[in-house]
């Protein structure tokens, strides 16, 4: 197992542990963050219905992640959502993940 596979396995283990406790409901949907090699994705999900309520995608980068957080907060407000549960998907809370969370808070979402 190379370094990249170990890192992915570690994140998946953390993700499973987090998802066992975090559930999005109609009152407090889940704000999920995912990073690929080129993009950052944010989704607001109602796990009880299995529905994505809002989503945004931007190129990878801290500044873009903050903008994505503000955009997702704007979409959430249009759908009447003010409170969410933050799901960092097993990533460390710094850099892009922190910027996305700060952008969403600046946009008016409450965690």
Region 31-45: what's the mean pLDDT? Answer: 95
Angle at 53 between CA 103 and CA 77, to 5 degrees: 50
Tell me the domain boundaries of the chain: 3-106
- Confidence category of residue 25, pLDDT binned at 50, 70, 90: confident
- Rg of the chain (C-alpha set): 14
* pLDDT over 90 (residue 20): no
* pLDDT over 90 (residue 17): no
Classify domain 3-106 at the CATH topology level. Nucleotidyltransferase; domain 5 (3.30.420)
| E strand or H helix at 69 | helix 62-78
* pLDDT over 90 (residue 76): yes
């Amino acid at each position: 197992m190379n370094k990249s596979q170990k890192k992915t396995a570690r994140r998946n283990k953390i993700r499973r542990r987090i998802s066992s406790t975090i559930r999005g409901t109609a009152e407090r949907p889940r704000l999920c963050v995912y990073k690929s090699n080129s993009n950052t994705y944010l989704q607001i999900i109602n796990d009880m219905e299995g529905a994505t309520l809002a989503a945004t995608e931007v190129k990878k980068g801290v500044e873009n992640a903050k903008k994505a957080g503000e955009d997702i907060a704007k979409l959430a407000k249009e759908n009447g959502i003010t409170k969410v549960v933050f799901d960092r998907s097993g990533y460390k809370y710094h850099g892009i993940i922190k910027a996305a969370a700060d952008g969403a808070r600046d946009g008016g979402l409450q965690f």
